Amino acid sequence: MERFGEIPLALLDVLGRSVLMRTLDRIRAAGIAEISVISDTAPLPPHRVAAGCEFSVTSLEDFWEEASQQFRRLGRNSECILVLRLGAWAELDYAAMVNEYRRSESSVLRAYSWRDEALDMFVVSSDSQSEAAALLRGELREEGIAAVRYKTSGYVNLLSEPASLRTLTLDAFAGESELRPCGHELRPGVWVGGDVRIHGKARIVAPAFIGSCSIVRSGAVITRGSSLEHHSEVDCATVVDNSSVMPYTRVGAGLDVEYSVVGFQQVHHTQRNVTVEI
């Protein structure tokens, strides 16, 4: 369920930057320099990972064994390892989470949302190879491992279905999340990325986001918290209302797109919870 068009939601852009890249920003801000990312799906281009982050794509059959090997490698010179499955967008203070782990004197600490939802986010002692192996074998869902709870008061979106992308976008526009659009504010509430082409007879109604290298043609209307991610196109006289258009997606002329996530030859209607292929 955490996919749209066979792509993990965490790899899809939300207002110009993916949940993965935004999470890496927060981890680096906590002073964690060496990071390993394992994915079963290659990210969409352009994909840039900064220095100090190793990105690898592996099969589902080898996924958790690869995770175990990376844990052992990182643990050789570390006191503890931060282990995350994306998954959720969580505005955690990772430095505070590690400090709480140290105070707890436990081998495993797990994050919980302010709604008491268990998150697949752990701090694990480098010396606790057996607990780490059991945790990873159980795909971070093993209930038999004793873990100290760390409750965050920050914003959390579990990204459990495509409609969650819309919720995250609207919450960001409303200022309920720390997530911000990537681009410059063309006018109040309207953000655009680089190399955007908007026809003079198109209408962009705030709040709205137009991602880099996107095209909005004559007579098109983008309104009510809609976002066009990078390299997307909305053709003449089409209305995009309360919807997200994914990267590399063209929406044809004379259409009404409402309450939807659109891309990869699919339309997901968020109110009806139905996905159709186009």
Distance of CA 103 to the CA centre of its chain: 30
Q: Of all helices (H) and strands (E), which one includes residue 209?
A: strand 208-210
How would you classify the pairing of strands 239-241 and 221-223? parallel
| Interhelix angle 63-75/129-137, nearest 10 degrees | 160
Chain position carrying tokens 């707890």: 104
Quick one: pLDDT at residue 53? Answer: 85
To the question of pTM greater than 0.85 for the whole model, the response is yes
b/e map of 20-35 (b: 16 or more CB within 10 Å)? Answer: bbbbbebbeebebeeb
Listed residue (272, 13, 19) closest to 156, CA to CA:
19
Quote the pLDDT of residue 50. 60
Q: At 173, phi and psi to the nearest 5? A: -60, -35
Per-residue model confidence as pLDDT tens digits over 8-19:
999 999 999 999
Q: What is the pLDDT of residues 148-165, one digit of tens each?
A: 999 999 999 999 999 999
User: In sequence order, which residues have a C-beta less than 8 Å from that of residue 196 and are 6 or more positions away?
Assistant: 210, 211, 212, 213, 214, 215, 216
N-term to C-term CA, the chain? 20
Per-residue confidence (pLDDT) for residue 49, from 0 to 100:
65
- Per-residue pLDDT tens for 167-189? 999 999 999 999 999 999 999 99
